[in-house]
Structure formats: C-alpha cells, structure tokens
Chains A and B, each alone.
Chain A
Amino acid sequence: MMWPEARVWAALIAMGLATYLVRLAGFYVLKGFTPRGRMKAALDALPPAVLMAVIAPTVLATGPAETGAALLTAGAAALRLPMVVVILIGVVSVVLLRLVLG
C-alpha cells in the first residue's frame, strides 16, 4: 500500500491539530461558558453560515445546472427527507440539468 508523502503527512497533522485543539479548548478554555442574548444568536448562526459559505462557489457561481440542482435539493431538505435521499435527489438533478443545459 502507498505510504503518504511528507506533504500529505503535514496536512494530516495540521488538520488533526486544528480540529483536536478546538475540541479540547471547549473543555478547558471555555469551561462552563453559556452564551446568551445577541452573543447566542450570533454563535448559533456560525454552523449554517460556515456551511453555506463552503458550498457558495459551487451552488452560486458555477452554472445554472448547479444552482438549479441546489434549489431542488433545498426543496427536498425542507421536506425533512432522510439525508441519503436528499443527496440522491441532488446528484440525479445535477446530472439531468447538466444534460439539458449543456
């Protein structure tokens, strides 16, 4: 089996530390911290805002097929369908829309 090269190891360790230190910090640095009011509203928005930012280039700035498929997927997600079904609807619609829209 292929042994990872040095640069890949560096990335794995950097990503691992970035994740683990965040998780540890919550237990030690922010021990017992309970956000309230405006602070809570802002922090509650962090996960969806970050996830939206991650997919924005693909769903908003790639082409009409990706944007259309994203809307269909959002419709499926709004119906609270199981995650695997939501993903399937997204994948099938992007393939079909790419065929239709070129």
Chain B
Amino acid sequence: MPRRDDIGAGVRDMAAILVAAAPIGLLWGTLAAGKGFSALEAWLMSVFVFAGASQFVAIELWQTPVDVFAVALAVFIVNLRHILMAASLSRQVGAVKPALIPLMAYVLVDEAWALSERRALSQKFSLAYYLTCGFGMWITWTTSTALGAWLGRSFGDPAALGIDFAFSAMFIGIIAGFWKGPKTAAVLAVAGGVAALAKLTVPGAWYILAGGLSGVVMAAALYREGDNDVA
C-alpha cells in the first residue's frame, strides 16, 4: 500500500481521539499554571515527557522548589507500562530501518500503540501510519497543554472550580477501560488501600510504587490456569 494511503488512514483513525485529547491537554495546562508553570515550561514538559497520565501525576506532586527525584520516580512508575507496549511493537518492526526505532520510541503513546497494533492484525505494520498517529498526538498535546497553561493563568484557585479533582476523575475514566470483572475490583482495592496508607505514613512518591506493586502481586495471586484464554 502506498505510504500516502497509510498517512490518510492514520489521520482518519486518530481524528476523534485528538478531538478528545485537546480538552484534556487544556486541563493539564490549567493545572500546571496553578503550580506556577509558564506556557513555555508547560510546552517543554510536554515535549520532554510526552506522556499524559504521568504528566498529571508530576503536576500533582509538583512543589516549588521541585523534588526532582520524586517527580522522576513517579513518572517512571506511571510509564513503566510502555516497556510492554514497545516490546509488543518490536515484533512488527522487522522492515523498519533500525535508525528510526528511537523516533518510534519517542512517540510511543497509548493511542498510537493501540491503533497500530489493531491495524497490524489485518495488514502489514506501517511505519507511516504509526508515525502519523504518534505525531498527530504530539502536535495536539504540546499545543493544547501550552495553550492551557497560557489561559490557566487567569483562572485563579483551581479548587474553587473543582478543577483540582478533574485529574482524579480522568484517571477513574482510564481505569474503567481496564475493567475485567471482580478480579479487577480486588486489584484496585488492594492498590488503593496500600497507596492511601503509604501516603499517610511515608513521604515522597513511594506510595505509587507500593500501591502499584501490591496490585500486581494481588493479580498474580488471583491468577488461575486458563484465565488469559477467556480475557
């Protein structure tokens, strides 16, 4: 298939996702402005990190002066899932020039990964399609977050408008997408309970690691032979 068609397919498949992502980028920019970020700083963070969920966590933890280790650790933990997505993609990239792999890694976001994997089920993996999805998100995310920070400076106290809670609400929405039944409830209960306790007793971002690990251990403990066949 000519490359032009792959780019067109990428644009078509990404359009609705980008329309949904733009307000979330604006929201992140608003929260960042609340922590003292300029539009330039917000844009730079989106360019350097380019991972929405982890950027929300980093802003939640952000203080002035910032605890560099705490935010980097939190971002690392939240983005660990990308190693599995990249490993899965690595099975498709045999025909891709090795020099382009670092570029693929840079734009590896959930949406581009999901669309490319789904498309690869029915046709050959297309680098042009993947990069169109990835950079479509890059343009939308970097622009909307910077714009949000620029506009956000005029909003005042985010708590008065409930904007401080928007972050938690968005994560609840994302978590719902991972729901697989009662075992998920058990995993979430353990992860949430351990994290809340750790947050109250241990300073820093360790509560994320403690909660996340206990959820993973819970999932492993609940596993029964043949579970993955029905999932």
Contact = CB atoms under 8 A, between A and B. Distances in A.
A23 B174 CA distance: 20
A94 B191 CA distance: 23
A7 B69 CA distance: 11
Contacts of A25: 83, 86
Contacts of B208: 50, 53-54
A47 B53 CA distance: 10
A19 B171 contact: no
Interface in B140-196: 161-163, 165-176, 178-180, 184, 187-188, 190-196
A102 interface: no
A10 B170 CA distance: 28
Given A19-B51, A20-B105, A49 B199 contact: no
A11 interface: yes
Give the interface residue-count category, chain B: 35 or more
Among A29, A35, A50, A73, the one with the most B-chain Cβ atoms within 10 Å of its Cβ is A50
Nearest to B78: A50
A53 B192 contact: yes
Residue among A8, A23, A44 with the most chain B CB within 10 A? A23
A86 B173 contact: yes
A59 to B, nearest CB: 6
A90 B106 contact: no
A4 B45 CA distance: 11
Interface residues of A, number: 78
Q: Which of B39, B78, B88, B169 has the most CB of A within 10 A?
A: B169
A45 B80 CA distance: 12
A30 B89 CA distance: 10
B164 to A, nearest CB: 8
A3 to B, nearest CB: 7
B120 interface: no
Contacts of B178: 44, 47-48
Nearest to A14: B72
A84 B24 CA distance: 8
A50 B212 contact: yes
A58 B168 CA distance: 7
A26 B93 contact: no
Contacts of B213: 49
A35 B51 contact: no
A43 B169 contact: no
Contacts of B27: 87
Interface in A33-49: 33-49
Given A26-B87, A27-B101, A87-B27, A1 B40 contact: yes
A22 B48 contact: no
10 contacts: A19-B76, A26-B87, A27-B90, A46-B80, A46-B215, A49-B219, A50-B212, A78-B176, A87-B170, A94-B165
